[in-house]
Structure 1
Amino acid sequence: MRLIHTMPDIGAEAAGPSYSVVRLCEALNTLQQETTLALIGSAGSNPFIKPFSRGFGPERLGCSPSMRRWLNQEIASCSVDIVHNHSLWMMPNVYPGWATKGAPIPYVVSPRGTLSQWAMRSGSGIKKAFWPLIQKPSIKHAACFHATAYSEYEDIRRIGFKQPITLIPNGIDLPVFSESLKARADSERTLLFLGRLHPVKGIDYLLQAWSQLQDVFPEWKLRIVGPEGDGQYLRHLKSISVQFDLKRVSFDAPLYGDSKFEAYRAADLYVLPSHSENFGMTVAEALASGTPAVVSKGAPWQGLEQKAAGWWPGVGEKPLVEALRSAMALPPEQLQAMGQNGRAWMEEEFAWSGVAKSMLDTYRWLLGRGDKPDYVLID
């Protein structure tokens, strides 16, 4: 089977879609499926990535005439079995829709969180015109949507799309550590946020919650790690720190690769207080590292409580305070046990080989080469 996947680019943080889409394509290639990932920018060391140069126009739109021409040629040749686009709101997410319209090639769309209520409300005014005039028409003929969680399935249906939706989570690579359990000094414990510093992440809630907890748990520190973007949101967060006279809070530069996983491993507890997430890759990374998590209901991680691997409070300051109070009061040994529950969960249900196999079975069904998988929802 020949597959073309598309996405705008690979972000510097190598997280979220920059990680999950690349790993999905790698896993599909491992299953002997000829998979090409087309995007703007550099291919790095990945031989299956086909990079294209950016053309003229606003950088935010990511115009690339060369990418558009290549997609048109490949689809016109009828040598492609499936075209699968990841994310929305940039021209590399529009070109595959234009190219497949009227072609006998199933088109699959993974919104990757871009259709959430928060995402649809946020952003520049350009979105209000881009959606009805360009983006929505380019995906109306999609044969199937892909959701990484049931909440994203609901987002897709709320927008009005009636096509089948394949419900397949992202996968995760389990890091290997030299020690079976975390070694920490009892005198210092760490609450970690690691991810993009962006308003959608709800870090302002976290800081406000910390102002109520810092004196109750003097042995704990809060570590916020991530890229600052244009710096505006980071300045806002630091102003909150000053306003509430926060103690033992650090804002650290982003971490990548092994250093990132060591940060998860060194923490007693991971926290993600997001307004909206279609998956929340950092949660999977933390759990794979053996660290329990407190994650808001803005992210689809209800399994945290079912698997005894963390807490799933409502969105906002008050529920976050209550969950963190419960979590931070537990002894290190109990949190470590919850972390091991989370790691076992990731190993059992989120291996990339299984994720790729599920996606491949979806493709086969779309092509009439197999039965409909149970995780493909048609209502």
Structure 2
Amino acid sequence: MSTRTLRILLVSHYYPPHVGGIENVVRREAEGLAAQGVEVTVLTSAERSSVREENGVRVVRVAAWNGTERRAGVPFPVFSPALLATALRLVRGADVVHIHDCLYLSSWAAGLAARLTQTPYVLTQHVALVDHPSGLVRAVQRTVYRIAGRALLRGARAVFTLNASVARFVEAHGARACYHLANGVDTDRFRPAEDSGEPVRARERLGLPAGRVLVLFVGRLVPKKGHDLLLAAHRPDAGYDLVFSGGGDIAALAGRPGVHHLGALPPEAVAEAYRACDVFALPSTAEGFPLTVQEAMASGLPVITTDDPGYSPYELDRDQVSLLSREVTVLDAELRALAADPGRRARMGKYSRAYAEKTFAWDDHVTTLLAHYRGGGEHR
């Protein structure tokens, strides 16, 4: 198959303008592949069904109810009955199907359609089991992975993972060929401030205070992301303010001195928020290698995140990235120390940017995908 005639179907439960990490990854993959001459279609959800051309990508949205996310913070769109017929039609027209995560109805429909039409598919698994506070949600996850997840993983020609923990998880659930593939990041959009005045102007536009060390959190305000840990660690006399960008448990932020909420921002505004702030903190759990960490590093921010053994393939310098346990006292001590040490923040930020430029290039990511779509790539 030549690059110009290759037809790829990308499958994701969400796609922009819905805000989130997976959907941003899928859009960058889709647009990067289209730029290489690939014919790209995306199968995803929306409130109403539609078919549109977006930046060289055909986006097919199937109507879905998204009440579980709005009411309980569980991102699980419930598709209309048209999903399976749509998946069958799109899979028949594809050379390779690329499914993102095996936990969603769109993934199951595409996997079944691929089996029925004998179309090869690959799968990116972004996370393992999510430690959700609801026992019911955890039980449902385990059941889904044992049944539909195992079937999808076993049938995939290649399974891509973002860290070692997820790799072990998918291999335990039947993945036959597992590959480490880091997400890319737009190092032009997510970049350090060009001069000392840019953060000042960004703070003015975003309504953030001048003269304070600002610690930024980007993500949904749900327990697995760790926003509650940051709130528990923060004290008005700590020497820094907290800035949150994302939807979810907004009530938890209300009335707290030194805590600012920007809401769920579009990508350009999120990039500006990184440049407005001094430190990035995400004490999350059970995530691959969070896209927001990559964006923060590309923006030249010092990073505080969870010490996850799954991050070992990235070989991060522990002197330059704060990898911590998810303990309030530990977070409190590190945040206070960084807030009081501008020299250390500058050194960590310089490392972040250099690491992102070297490791998170989208062009390399797309080139790797193309090799696998054509049947290449080394097992590792």
Alpha-carbon shift at residue 287 of structure 1 (Å):
1.4
Describe the superposition over 1:295-353 as per-residue Cα deviations: whole angstroms up to 9, x where unpaired.
1124955658518543111223233233323322312x441332122112111221110
Partner secondary structure for residue 101 of structure 1: helix
The alignment of Structure 1 onto Structure 2 pairs a total of residues equal to 351
* Residue in structure 1 matched with residue 317 of structure 2 by the alignment: 306
> 1-side partners of 2:245 and 2:45: how far apart?
27
Please tell me whether the aligned partners of residues 14 and 45 of structure 2 are also in contact (alpha carbons under 8 angstroms).
yes
From 13, 24, 29, the equivalent of 1:24 is 29
2:155 counterpart SS class: coil
TM alignment of 1:320-335, pairs within 5 A: 320-331=331-342, 333-335=343-345
CA distance in 2, matches of 1:55, 1:194: 26
Aligned residue number for residue 62 of structure 1: 78
Q: Could you tell me which amino acid in structure 2 is paired with residue 66 of structure 1?
A: A
- 8 Å CA contact 2:150, 2:174 repeated in 1: no
Judged with a 3 Å threshold, the aligned counterparts in structure 2 of structure 1 residues 182 and 295 are, in CA distance, closer, same or farther, namely: farther
1:355 aligns with 2:368: no
Contact 2:162–2:183 (Cα < 8 Å) also in 1? yes
Matched, 1:45 2:54: yes
Partner AA of 1:73 in structure 2: R
Question: 1:53-92, aligned counterparts within 5 Å?
Answer: 53-54=62-63, 60-76=76-92, 80-92=94-106
Q: Secondary structure at the match of 1:294?
A: strand
| C-alpha distance in 2 between matches for 1:55 and 1:162 | 29
Looking at structure 1, the residues matched to 20 and 67 of structure 2 have their Cα atoms a distance apart, in angstroms, of 24
Bigger mean CA offset, 87-96 vs 267-276: 87-96
The alignment partner of 1:89 has SS state of coil
SS of the residue corresponding to residue 118 of structure 1 reads coil
Q: Which amino acid aligns with 2:215?
A: L
The TM-score with structure 1 as length reference comes to 0.81
1:121/1:4 CA distance change after superposition, 3 Å? farther
Within 1, Cα distance between the matches of 2:290 and 2:265? 17
2:213 counterpart of 1:189:
yes
Q: 1:257 aligns with which of 264, 267, 278?
A: 267
Q: Classify the secondary structure of the residue corresponding to 1:193.
A: strand
Matches within 5 A, 1:275-314: 275-298=285-308, 305-306=316-317, 309-314=320-325
Cα RMSD between the aligned structures?
3.1
Taking the aligned partners of 1:151 and 1:207, their CA distance within structure 2 comes to 27
Is the 2:8–2:95 contact (alpha carbons within 8 Å) kept by the matching residues of 1? yes
Shift of 1:92: 0.7
2:230 is matched with 206
Measured after TM superposition, the shift of residue 107 of structure 1 is 1.8
Range moving further from structure 2, 270-279 or 170-179: 170-179
Equivalent in 145, 151, 156 of residue 170 of structure 2:
156
Contact 1:295–1:312, Cα closer than 8 Å, also in 2 = yes
Distance 1:255 1:299 in 2: 31
C-alpha change, 1:68 and 1:258, in structure 2 (3 Å) is same
Amino acid at match of 1:355: H
Residue matched to 1:6: 11
Contact 1:182 / 1:265 at 8 angstroms: preserved in 2? no
SS of 1:335 mapped into structure 2: helix
Aligned AA for 1:38? L
2:29 partner letter: L
CA distance 1:21–1:27, change in 2 (3 Å): same
Map Cα deviations across residues 74-130 of structure 1 (whole Å, 9 max, x no partner). Answer: 445xx53211101233211101111122654322121221x2352696727654554
Instruction: Find the counterpart in structure 1 of residue 356 from structure 2.
Output: 346
Supply the AA of the counterpart residue of 1:71: A
CA contact (8 A) 1:3 1:82 kept: yes
Aligned partner of 2:188 in structure 1 is 175
Q: Which runs of 5+ in 1 are unaligned?
A: none
* Alignment correspondent of 1:226: 246
8 Å CA contact retained: 1:226, 1:255? yes
Counterpart residue identity of residue 201, structure 1: K
* Identical pairs, percent: 23
- Contact 1:224–1:252 (8 Å) recurs in 2: yes
Q: TM-score, normalised by structure 2?
A: 0.81
Corresponding position of 1:116: 129
For the residues of structure 1 that align with 2:150 and 2:311, how far apart are their CA atoms?
28
Letter in 2 for 1:208: A
CA distance in 1, matches of 2:31, 2:247: 26
Q: SS of the residue aligned with 2:15?
A: coil
Equivalent pair of 2:10/2:43 in contact (CA under 8 Å): yes
The answer to whether the Cα contact below 8 Å between 1:272 and 1:283 also exists between their aligned partners in 2 is yes
The CA distance in 1 between the partners of 2:184 and 2:245, in whole Å, is 23
SS in 2 for 1:85: strand
Whether the 8 Å contact between 1:189 and 1:268 is mirrored in structure 2 is yes
* 2:258 equivalent to 1:248: yes
